[in-house]
Amino acid sequence: MTTTSPAKRRLENYLPPEGVPIMFDLASLGTRLGAQIVDVLITFGGVFVVILLVVWSGLLAGSALVTLFLLLVFFVRIPYYIFSELVWNGRTLGKRITKIRVISTDGRRLTPHQITARNLMKEIEVFTPITTLIGASAMTGLEQTVLILWVLLVLIIPFTNRRRQRLGDMIAGTVVVDQPKTTLLPDLATAPLASSRGYEFHPEHLEIYGRFELQTLETILRSPPKGPEERKRVHDIARTIIGKIGYHEKVPQNQEWEFLVDFYRYQREYLESRQLFGDARENKFHADKTDDA
């Protein structure tokens, strides 16, 4: 699902196997063009060096030299795009410089099949038609017109769909996005104590919830409440947890935020300790092993 804003289009609801939604900025067409120019300069630059050496040595000339050039371009360009995206997980040197990357639309890691498919389609879409137009002098006017129309059509396609996908992306199930900046958020478990008193929790309080609820609570605790609606949300969550875990100690309303932070710490430590023994609790519906005995 995508939404459109005046400045950028965003790819929303990107759901990786871990189950935590991630939102990426779709790469602009200008940035993608810049990355493509860099990659073309890299691939053609290497080929031109070889051609200059062949010319200097006098081994080939005329049509044979042109044929060698076309073959080198083909056999350098395809491996370059495929292997670089395989090694750098959806990035060529051009994409690394412009800080964009290819991702799979199904939320999973890019597969060799997807990378190969999208880059072979690039040959069919643009490179082979353009190379044919430049190198084939015996083409009729109709054939040249057809190739030109084909190239124009495939170049227009990214402008006509919300995810800015070209044909190769549609076939491979990929999309090009901005490389997100890595920002490490502070660890809530090592932050200063939430309250001067510190609420304590026992195993019977902590065996109710699982990893999913802990991640949800952490997301909430990243932003302290500022308005009445947010404070009411904190109140509702705190009272729900208090009732669910059977917490009998009194929690004043002005201490509910501190209660949630302390509960998060205890719950995280408890789940991590169980994880060490291979007893991971996914969510509150996760049945204990003892339940099946």
pLDDT tens string 187-242:
555 555 444 457 888 888 888 888 778 888 888 888 888 888 888 989 999 999 99
Comparing 31-35, 39-43, 65-69, 76-80, which segment has the lowest mean pLDDT?
65-69
Q: Which of residues 121, 143, 178 is at a domain's end? A: 178
Does the pLDDT value for residue 186 go beyond 80? no
pLDDT band (50, 70, 90) for residue 277: very low
Are residue 246 and residue 115 in the same domain, yes or no?
no
Are residue 120 and residue 94 in the same domain, yes or no?
yes
Are residue 121 and residue 147 in the same domain, yes or no?
yes
State the Cα–Cα distance between residues 71 and 105, nearest whole angstrom. Answer: 33
Comparing 76-80, 176-180, 255-259, which segment has the lowest mean pLDDT?
176-180
pLDDT band (50, 70, 90) for residue 14: low
Are residue 173 and residue 220 in the same domain, yes or no?
no
| Amino acid at the residue 202 | H
Q: How many domains does the chain have?
A: 2
Question: Is residue 286 situated within a structural domain?
Answer: yes
Residue with tokens 């062949």: 54
Query: What Å distances lie between residue 68 and 124, 135, 268, 289, CA to CA?
Result: 20, 12, 63, 67
Taken in order 13, 225, 182, 30, the sign of the CA dihedral is: positive
pLDDT band (50, 70, 90) for residue 272: confident
Predicted local distance difference test score (pLDDT) of residue 191: 55
- Find the domain containing 129 and state its range: 3-178
Tokens linked to 61: 């000339």
Predicted local distance difference test score (pLDDT) of residue 35: 95
Are residue 21 and residue 83 in the same domain, yes or no?
yes
Main-chain phi, psi angles of 251, to 5 degrees: -120, 105
pTM of the full predicted structure? 0.58
Does the pLDDT value for residue 30 go beyond 50? yes
Question: Is residue 183 situated within a structural domain?
Answer: no
Question: Is residue 274 situated within a structural domain?
Answer: yes
Are residue 207 and residue 170 in the same domain, yes or no?
no
